Structure 1
């Protein structure tokens, strides 16, 4: 990161960071509601698990396609304008979805949200680079932003559960989207007031040359290994996170609202884990921490899933009545929390700032593909085998991730001063 940082006052920098946090909070609620919407779609619209799992594809494939198409163009048009357009689209679809009230409306909703998030994530990651002047400050700010994302995920489960009623045929829960439309408007206002300037581009650059540079990035050995690592990580995270509400409902026999509320432990664990990682990585090398986390994740899966076998149906009226397994499984988020931000920060810190938008495009594309693959595979195994088999299947990509992180460490600078 050798480009000189943009000179900003502390107040201006704080306003930009606040705007980024607001956007990330909104999209955390929307994107990670897919697990809740899948469960509600199965109940409210009588669709199969495989059909419901397609919502993840509409979300993630739209993220991947949009990132591929616009990642190299966004800096040219300006991050502020890009963010405002994305937020306006989300606000509109949140207002329309409850009016339609059909399953196909959610396909459109997640496609729009996915396209908008691609723009937002590329813009935010690039802005983090502009606001940072060292690898450590970059990683600290990126982890803070990602931490806010997890706070949004945690809040989203409770926001949605507040609108869910015991009547499975009721569509009252769709009213939550009016609240999210209002939150979108708040984000539009914070972005409008933030002093986000257009990024200076290298002389002689064009859309074609910038797109070609993005494609060239993927052929660098370090970037290629990173892409594999990001794909595998998101495959595991989305496979678990998306299907955890359904797992709680069908395997542990918990009511829908309690199933969704308990899934918030997963988001809370991710948030706490990323905040703790910021402190731990000041004293421990990132590669050692990531290996500890990966091995512990496997151990937790092997410890928890046997406890979910033969759970008897019982009266559960709140999260305090749930069995032990309902608390243990979401705790995997505490262990996986540092992995994604640390890998992202290592790769971004190794690039010039004008390359951050293109690299973020690659991050978003393969993260989205990993999320779709994880959700669809988990849903397929869940439907045709069992919920336990579906979650045991996470052990395979987990083993592959251990190998890819090792290769990533070998390709990255041995003395890289990264901290989260």
Structure 2
């Protein structure tokens, strides 16, 4: 590989990381934005939650129905298309003056994210020299997503504190997105050539065929369970940690405990981001299935402890899950995609992304419904989330014991990455 090509691939990798960071700035700020939207438009919790749900529905629809675009038309063109749609939706927030219009923009942004994210995930396969490097790069991308998840809420808090509207977060994201789109247009991406036999077969029907594939379904179900548990933390943990019948943290005995409760979500995101940078190293040195099995076990224990011990224990164990959750999703995503040939990576990435977004939308919704059935107590919702984490652990344990993907990954390593 020439020095020019090496520099080009490094730039492409950094562009991919920045794309993940950019859309995380908006997606993971939704909790802070919802508080402002409720007041601004005088809506209830269910209506306000559509800010989160419709974004995820948009990603899910895009992943399932449009994931094949990256395989059919190429990574670069699809990335630029998705970034363009996202930038447009961000700029249109400047003229949005009704809640329904904002929901439409949220949905458009979700659809656009699904388009460029599936292409970016497919691109990671193109620039990786092995399935192990693929997993490391995926952890890097998700690490920058974690950074965006920290930056976004801080920007919203700063805007609100200084009397500026929260929509400027989207304008800022739109500007960054436009810059990334221009850079993506100028950079020379690796040549993408489909095998001749597949030239006319990249379509939505290929996504549906994955419903019968054990590798695609296994990793997609794992992604659903993980994201349902993860979203439980940043959507419902602030409610669970509130004192009974109040909207404050006055019941905690110390100022440090109150501070921890107030900033619990930020602490969770910070630990998750830190863990993903560590995960880049871990996945190069340890058995990925063992790491996922051990970490999913610790997550389940943290959830159980937070329920049995109440909010005083959850105050510590729930944010702590961030460090252990950090490597699970990017590794699930990477290994799921790596079970397939590179010319299928866009379709497979979209398929897994569909279940990812479905978990993020359905998990918190089911938790809310169950909590309302028991008088609005969020503890009952977290029992549902604990079931998700327990099933995930059982799946990761079975994956570690029986290693069903070993032969498939070795086959792909040899045929797609040139390993001996």
TM-score, normalised with respect to structure 2: 0.84
Query: Does 1:32 pair with 2:23?
Result: no
Aligned residues: 397
- Residue 155 of structure 1 and its aligned partner are, at CA, apart by 1.1
- Describe how 1:4-43 pairs up with structure 2 within 5 A: 9-43=5-39
Q: Greater helix share, 1 or 2? A: 2
Which residue is 2:351 aligned to?
362
Query: Does 1:243 pair with 2:239?
Result: no
- Describe how 1:48-87 pairs up with structure 2 within 5 A: 48-87=44-83
Counterpart-to-counterpart distance in 1, 2:125 and 2:36: 39
Does the aligned pair in 1 maintain the 2:71–2:202 contact within 8 Å?
A: no
Counterpart-to-counterpart distance in 2, 1:195 and 1:59: 31
Does the aligned pair in 2 maintain the 1:265–1:327 contact within 8 Å?
A: no
- Residue 131 of structure 1 and its aligned partner are, at CA, apart by 0.5
- Describe how 1:16-415 pairs up with structure 2 within 5 A: 16-165=12-161, 172-197=165-190, 199-208=192-201, 210-247=203-240, 253=248, 262-305=264-307, 309=311, 326=315, 328-383=317-372, 384-409=375-400, 410=402, 411-413=404-406
- Residue 233 of structure 1 and its aligned partner are, at CA, apart by 0.8
Counterpart-to-counterpart distance in 2, 1:43 and 1:247: 22
Does the aligned pair in 2 maintain the 1:246–1:259 contact within 8 Å?
A: no
Counterpart-to-counterpart distance in 2, 1:102 and 1:234: 30
Does the aligned pair in 1 maintain the 2:132–2:284 contact within 8 Å?
A: no
After superposition, the CA RMSD in angstroms is 3.1
- Deviation string, structure 1 residues 31-57 (Cα, Å, up to 9, x no partner): 212222233333433322222222222
Greater shift, 53-62 or 360-369, is seen at: 53-62
Does the aligned pair in 2 maintain the 1:71–1:361 contact within 8 Å?
A: yes
The alpha-carbon distance between structure 1 residues 369 and 206, as it changes in their structure 2 partners (threshold 3 A), is same
- Deviation string, structure 1 residues 300-339 (Cα, Å, up to 9, x no partner): 2233456665x8xxxxxxxxxxxx8555422211111111
The alpha-carbon distance between structure 1 residues 210 and 18, as it changes in their structure 2 partners (threshold 3 A), is same
Counterpart-to-counterpart distance in 2, 1:171 and 1:346: 43
- Deviation string, structure 1 residues 219-270 (Cα, Å, up to 9, x no partner): 1222222221111111111222233455556767169x99885422221111
Higher relative contact order (CA 8 A, sep 6+): 1
Counterpart-to-counterpart distance in 2, 1:90 and 1:246: 31
The alpha-carbon distance between structure 1 residues 372 and 75, as it changes in their structure 2 partners (threshold 3 A), is same
The alpha-carbon distance between structure 1 residues 245 and 7, as it changes in their structure 2 partners (threshold 3 A), is farther
The alpha-carbon distance between structure 1 residues 209 and 294, as it changes in their structure 2 partners (threshold 3 A), is closer
- Residue 203 of structure 1 and its aligned partner are, at CA, apart by 0.7
Greater shift, 125-134 or 391-400, is seen at: 391-400
- Residue 283 of structure 1 and its aligned partner are, at CA, apart by 4.3
Find the residue that maps to 1:47 and give its secondary structure. Answer: coil
Find the residue that maps to 2:343 and give its secondary structure. Answer: helix
Counterpart-to-counterpart distance in 1, 2:25 and 2:242: 21
- Deviation string, structure 1 residues 108-131 (Cα, Å, up to 9, x no partner): 232112111111211111111111
Counterpart-to-counterpart distance in 1, 2:49 and 2:14: 33
Find the residue that maps to 1:172 and give its secondary structure. Answer: coil
- Residue 386 of structure 1 and its aligned partner are, at CA, apart by 1.6
Counterpart-to-counterpart distance in 1, 2:160 and 2:325: 29
- Residue 382 of structure 1 and its aligned partner are, at CA, apart by 4.5
